[in-house]
Structure formats: structure tokens, C-alpha cells
């Protein structure tokens, strides 16, 4: 996944140079410098990703289960941190932690995230769904 972001960034930065109708490079020093700085940042992020030690299986499972259960109980079924004075105080760090857990996982662990992620999209089982009072007709 990091690989995708890296190449996407590379492609976007490549366009910052552009060419004029005669085929020579349009040289806007500010855009070029901005693109170079950003490309440098992305490259260093990507290189640090290559050095990431995969979490051991036990740690990975505990973290994944804990964080995804938290999202489900709090944001799918629960009050979405209503008691917090400012929701972003939790949301920003929790999003960043999940981003790190998911996108910095080695390929064999990335696939393991797909099941809990899709489970978040399907919060109700069929029997649960049939018993919900919002259905306009009796189900029994």
C-alpha cells in the first residue's frame, strides 16, 4: 500500500515539471522545489517503510482485534465518543494509529485486515436485522 502511495506521489510530482509546446521543460522554480521537497519526503517515508519490522503474530492480532473492536463498539454501535470534550482529540490519533497498523504492515499481514474492515461495513447479522423495529412489517 505504501508502494502505491509512493508511486502515485512520484507520478503527481513528475507532472509539476510539465513541458511546453516545443517540448522543452517548463521550469517554474517554486513548483519544482515544492515537488522536490515532497518527493524527498515520500521517498524517505517509503525507505523507512522498507525497514519496518513486521509485528509478531501475537502482537499483531491483539492490536488488530483491540482497535477494530473499539471502532465497532464506539463508532458502529456506540456513542462515537460523545462524552469527549472534543471528538478529534481521539479521532486524529486513533486514525493515525490504524493507518500505521494497516499501511505499514508487510504484505502477508495487510490481507489479514480485510476481514475485520469488511465486518465493520456489515454490522448486523441477518437475524439481528430481521428483529429491528424499523422494519415496517412483522417478521414472525
Binding site for other proteins (CB under 8 A): 52-53, 55, 59, 62-63, 66-67, 69-70, 73, 78, 83-85, 89-90, 93-94, 96-97, 100-101, 104
Cβ proximity to other proteins: between 94 and 112 the closer is 94
Question: How far apart are CB 2 and other proteins at their closest, in Å?
Answer: 14
Name all contacts of 54-63 with Cβ < 8 Å and 24+ positions apart: 54/105, 54/106, 54/108, 54/109, 55/105, 55/109, 60/105, 60/109, 60/112, 63/101
Cβ proximity to other proteins: between 40 and 48 the closer is 48
Residues ≥6 apart with Cβ < 8 Å to 84: 90
> Can you read off the three cell numbers belonging to residue 91?
479521532
Question: How far apart are CB 9 and other proteins at their closest, in Å?
Answer: 20
Question: How far apart are CB 66 and other proteins at their closest, in Å?
Answer: 5
What's phi and psi for 25, nearest 5 deg?
Answer: -75, 135
Cβ proximity to other proteins: between 96 and 124 the closer is 96
Cβ proximity to other proteins: between 14 and 93 the closer is 93
Amino acid at each position: 500500500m505504501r508502494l502505491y502511495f509512493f508511486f502515485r506521489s512520484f507520478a503527481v510530482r513528475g507532472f509539476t515539471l510539465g513541458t511546453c509546446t516545443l517540448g522543452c521543460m517548463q521550469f517554474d522554480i517554486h513548483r519544482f522545489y515544492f515537488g522536490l521537497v515532497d518527493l524527498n519526503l515520500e521517498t524517505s517515508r517509503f525507505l523507512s517503510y522498507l525497514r519496518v519490522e513486521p509485528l509478531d503474530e501475537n502482537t499483531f492480532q491483539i492490536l488488530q482485534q483491540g482497535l477494530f473492536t473499539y471502532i465497532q463498539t464506539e463508532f458502529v454501535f456506540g456513542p462515537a465518543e460523545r462524552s469527549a470534550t472534543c471528538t478529534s482529540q481521539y479521532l486524529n490519533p486513533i486514525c493515525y494509529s490504524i493507518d500505521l497498523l494497516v499501511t505499514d504492515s508487510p504484505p502477508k499481514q495487510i490481507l489479514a485486515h480485510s476481514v475485520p474492515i469488511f465486518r465493520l461495513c456489515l454490522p448486523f447479522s441477518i437475524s439481528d436485522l430481521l428483529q429491528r423495529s424499523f422494519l415496517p412489517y412483522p417478521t414472525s
